[in-house]
Amino acid sequence: MHTVKDFDFLVIGSGIAGLVYALEVSKLGKVAVVTKRSLYDCNTDYAQGGIAAVLDEADSFEHHLRDTYIAGAELGKKQVIERVIKEGPKLIQYLIDLGTDFTRLDNSYDKRLENLSLTREGGHSHRRVAYAADSTGHQIMEALIHNCRINGNIEIYENRIAIDLITQHHIPQAEGFLPGITCWGAYILDTTTNQVDIFRARKTMMATGGAAQIYSHNTNPDIATGDGMAMARLAGARLANMEFVQFHPTAFWSPDGETFLISEAVRGEGAILRLTDGSTFMERYHELGNLAPRDIVSRAIDAELKRRGEKYCWLDARDIDHDVLRRHFPYIDGRLREYGIDFTKDPIPVAPAAHYFCGGVLSTIDGLTDIRNLFAAGEVACTGLHGANRLASNSLLEALVVAWHAAKHPSNSEPVDFPPIPPWHQLEDFNENEWVIISHNREILGTIMHGYVGIRRSRRLLKYALSRLENIYNEVNNFYQHNAVRKEVVETRNMAVVALAVIRSALMRKESRGAHFLIDAPERDDLKYKLDTII
């Protein structure tokens, strides 16, 4: 049994991109928000450092633009960067008006932008990061979720995973219905009952976030399996710049492999990186030292650790005023205490971990994709803002601005004709005996990506990774084709699709730029490669 649910707008994902779009288009019609787990299970809720925008008189749009372009190794698109940056202040005020409780300069209720306290992160030439202690994302989520819950036009569906977009490839009789590919919603699996329903919608917003879970060592929550990138690709959309996987330099390191992020804002407030013998090293790698762009810091740590045969280095925050440290970073303080670490007295063991996808579904600043009626916004999308490496705290900003623009796009008001949509071809059998195909391949995939497609790459290792991932994809896809659909199977197949896109893109770029460093070609080659990698 399946049901068909009709909406004007289907939003897949409940992070900042999905909920901002949902709130804005709810003024035009009925909206469904579907999300894999609870509304809070998303990268947005984990965001620590803050959201970047020009909020200080001494700063300027030109400076933010320049910092973004330079951090992105000059691959970003200047028109996109300019538009996103110029919208920043207005839309941060929008988040405040929705109830986001950013840290302010004084304790008054003055909620004007002028009263925001600003912090600094790597690659920024000014203090321009608005934050809510070290739980910025959670504060934003509280405000967005509250406003969605009280909105009579928004229906929320938790524990639902979108398994496929509804396009011509599911509806043979819709071939020639319209030229090009059109999206009419998605097949959605209820993970509590394993029933697949049709969510039919005039417009679908893909706001499914990133894919750092394809790396065994990463900062992301479990949901970040690249579903949106895989679904869009399988439906015929282009992906761009997938080789640029950003590693965060300072993920907490522990012998048991447990990790969480130590915000770059800790370095912004004065913490420094040290090797385990106490010596500093970042001054040897970049003039901005500890606050160099993220790709440079991650690579420097990786090189030092490999040279010394060590697994972690220290982040030393002991010289920061202890009150400032505890007040600004209460979440990190609490997590470190679980491991017996007092960051006012002890250095913090850290190592780089996969963190953010600069590439994704090729889209415009309005969220338009190759597929008619399908928008994409947030980490799933590649608009051209980040280029080859994202400037810290520019991702919440991008998600906010693009989701907002998508919601204001005139096509949201257009009527849409629907072809008859067949139910999901649900198989009855599920081969428990072969479940190992999923569990085993999922684990191996992460290890291969970490070892062969990490911070420093070689073409030989990339080719080995490609052949192993092709096998993994074939095994997992075969299981997917012949068994009743399950969340873990869908996710693992999507992870393989995304991993293959990362490897193929990395093989196409025979130079080093931003987050893609190739040992065989360590220099940048503007003549040949100052262009997007398209899959």
- C-beta of residue 302 within 8 angstroms of C-beta of residue 296: no
The piece of 88-96, 166-174, 390-398, 439-447 that touches ligand SIN (CB under 6 A) is 390-398
Q: What is each CA distance from 46 to 214, 226, 334, 387, 471, in whole angstroms?
A: 18, 17, 15, 23, 33
The piece of 6-14, 257-265, 418-426, 439-447 that touches ligand SIN (CB under 6 A) is 257-265
Residues of span 135-174 touching ligand FAD by CB under 6 A: 136-137, 161-162
Handedness of CA 304, 306, 307, 313 (dihedral sign): positive
Tell me if 265 contacts ligand SIN by CB under 6 A: yes
The piece of 145-153, 307-315, 391-399, 485-493 that touches ligand SIN (CB under 6 A) is 391-399
Tell me if 412 contacts ligand FAD by CB under 6 A: no
Q: What is each CA distance from 35 to 15, 32, 98, 162, 364, in whole angstroms?
A: 9, 10, 21, 8, 24
331 φ, ψ (degrees, to nearest 5): -65, -50
- C-beta of residue 389 within 8 angstroms of C-beta of residue 516: no
Q: With CB under 6 A, what is the number of residues at the site for ligand FAD?
A: 44
Residues of span 343-372 touching ligand SIN by CB under 6 A: 356
The piece of 149-157, 161-169, 262-270, 454-462 that touches ligand SIN (CB under 6 A) is 262-270
Q: Residues 91, 174, 392, 445: which binds ligand SIN (CB under 6 A)?
A: 392
Tell me if 16 contacts ligand FAD by CB under 6 A: yes
Tell me if 268 contacts ligand FAD by CB under 6 A: no
Q: Residues 14, 117, 167, 393: which binds ligand SIN (CB under 6 A)?
A: 393
252 vs 314 by CB, closer to ligand FAD = 252
From the CB of 294, what's the least distance to ligand SIN, in Å? Answer: 8
294 is catalytic: yes
The count of other CB atoms within 10 Å of the CB of residue 59 is 18
The piece of 226-234, 258-266, 457-465, 512-520 that touches ligand SIN (CB under 6 A) is 258-266
Q: At what angle do helices 487-508 and 227-234 cross, to 10 degrees?
A: 80
Q: What is the 3-state secondary structure (H, E, C) of 365-395?
A: CCCECCCECEEECHHHEECCCCCCCCCCCHH
What is the DSSP secondary-structure string of 472-530? HHHHHHHHHHHS---HHHHHHHHHHHHHHHHHHHHHH--S-BTTBEETTS-S--HHHH-
Amino acid at site 52: A
**Kind and range of the H or E run holding 188:** strand 185-190
**Kind and range of the H or E run holding 7:** strand 4-12
Alpha carbon distance 176, 416 (integer Å): 15
From the CB of 409, what's the least distance to ligand FAD, in Å? Answer: 18
Partners of 273 in the beta sheet?
315
Tokens of 373: 């009626």
**What is the β-pairing status of strands 31-34 and 154-157?**
parallel
Partner that binds at residue 15, options ligand SIN, ligand FAD, none, CB closer than 5 to 8 Å by kind: ligand FAD
Question: For the purposes of burial, counting CB atoms within 10 Å of the CB of 522, is it exposed (0-12), middle (13-18) or buried (19 or more)?
Answer: exposed
From the CB of 146, what's the least distance to ligand SIN, in Å? Answer: 24
From the CB of 88, what's the least distance to ligand SIN, in Å? Answer: 14
Q: Residues 13, 15, 18, 49: which binds ligand SIN (CB under 6 A)?
A: 49
Tell me if 44 contacts ligand FAD by CB under 6 A: yes
From the CB of 169, what's the least distance to ligand SIN, in Å? Answer: 35
Catalytic residue among 128, 267, 294, 493: 294
Catalog residues that contact ligand SIN under the rule CB under 6 A.
48-49, 263-265, 356, 392-393, 395
Catalog residues that contact ligand FAD under the rule CB under 6 A.
12-18, 34-37, 41-44, 46-51, 136-137, 161-162, 207-210, 219-220, 223, 227-228, 261, 356, 378-380, 393-396, 399
The residues that are catalytic are: 294
